[in-house]
Amino acid sequence: MRNRISHGMSTHSSPQQGKIALVTGANKGIGLETARQLGRLGISVVVAARDHAKAEAAAATLKREGIDAVPLNLDVTSTADIQAAAAFLESHYGRLDILVNNAGINAENTFTGNNSQTVTQAELRKTFDTNFFGVVELTQALLPLLKKSPAGRIVNLTSILGSLTLHADPASPIAGSKALAYNASKTALNAFTIHLAAALKDTPIKVNSAHPGWVKTDMGGTDAPMEIADGAKTSVELALIGADGPNGTYSHLGNTLPW
Residues annotated as catalytic are 182, 186
Three-class SS state of 141: helix
What's the length of the chain?
259
HSE-up (13 A, CA, CB side) for residue 24:
28
Report the alpha-carbon distance of residue 136 to residue 120 in Å, rounded. 23
Is residue 150 within 8 Å of residue 204, measured between CB atoms? yes
C-alpha 71/C-alpha 63 separation (Å) is 11
14-35 core/surface letters (b: 16 or more CB in 10 A; e: else): eebeebbbbbbbbbebbbbbbb
Cα–Cα distance, 196 to 190 (Å, whole number): 10
Strand-pairing partners, residue 20, are 44
Cα 177 from chain centroid (whole Å): 21
Alpha-carbon gap, residue 19 to 17, rounded angstroms: 6
| Cα–Cα distance list, 103 to 5, 27, 214 (Å) | 25, 10, 16
